[in-house]
Structure 1
Amino acid sequence: MSMTDTIHAKLTEKFAPTQLEVIDESMSHHGHAGWREGGETHFRVRIATRNFDGMSRVAQHRAVMDALEAELKARVHALAIEVLPAA
């Protein structure tokens, strides 16, 4: 399973999002810190979920980071998080 698929599956299971995009931006970071051959190091997540209702932006981002703790420790160098309004 690719890292994109792993991130998508974990966030879907944890947060039941109404919208979720996992974008591998690794190639745009070629040669930067943390980049590795084959990519799967730099990601952007766009997520909308009712599970974040009432949470501060910091708490929302921490929840995503906690859900992806193993991936962040192992392979993912950078993660940009965009929390969208839940529909």
Structure 2
Amino acid sequence: MHQERAELIKERLQVLAPTSLEIIDESHLHAGHAGSKNGASHFRVTIHSPKFNGLNRVAQQRLVFQALEGLLPYPIHALALSTHATSN
């Protein structure tokens, strides 16, 4: 189930034309946490994208959250983001 969610994240983030994308499922680290009830997932995402060029960190993260709209807070409960601009 978590692998399918990781693939969905990867698919949705393609709109940002990532030059590098790492998705790590950290759900096992949050077992028993209230947010993991009903099988919600926790992920860590590192993404490099030219679409982030000229944007501050908050604006970069907004683009990621827009791409993942409808997945938070369920089936993805938590998302740790590391965004990086790259040159075209």
- Normalised by the size of structure 2, how large is the TM-score? 0.86
Deviation, 1:34, is 1.1
Is the CA contact (8 Å cut-off) linking 1:40 and 1:75 kept in structure 2?
yes
Q: Secondary structure at the match of 2:72?
A: helix
Matched residue SS, 1:46? strand
Matching residue of 1:6: 8
Query: What is the aligned partner in structure 2 of residue 42 from structure 1?
Result: 42
TM-score by length of 1: 0.87
Percent identity at matched positions? 45
Deviation beyond 3 Å, 4+ runs, structure 1: none
Corresponding residue for residue 83 of structure 1:
83
Q: CA separation in 2, counterparts of 1:10 and 1:58?
A: 19
Shift of 1:69: 1.2
1:61-83 Cα shifts (integer Å, max 9, x gaps): 11101110111143111011101
Partner residue of 1:17? 18
Structure 2 unaligned runs (5+)? none
Q: What number of residue pairs does the alignment pair up?
A: 85
* Bigger strand fraction: 2
Gapped regions of structure 1 (runs ≥ 5): none
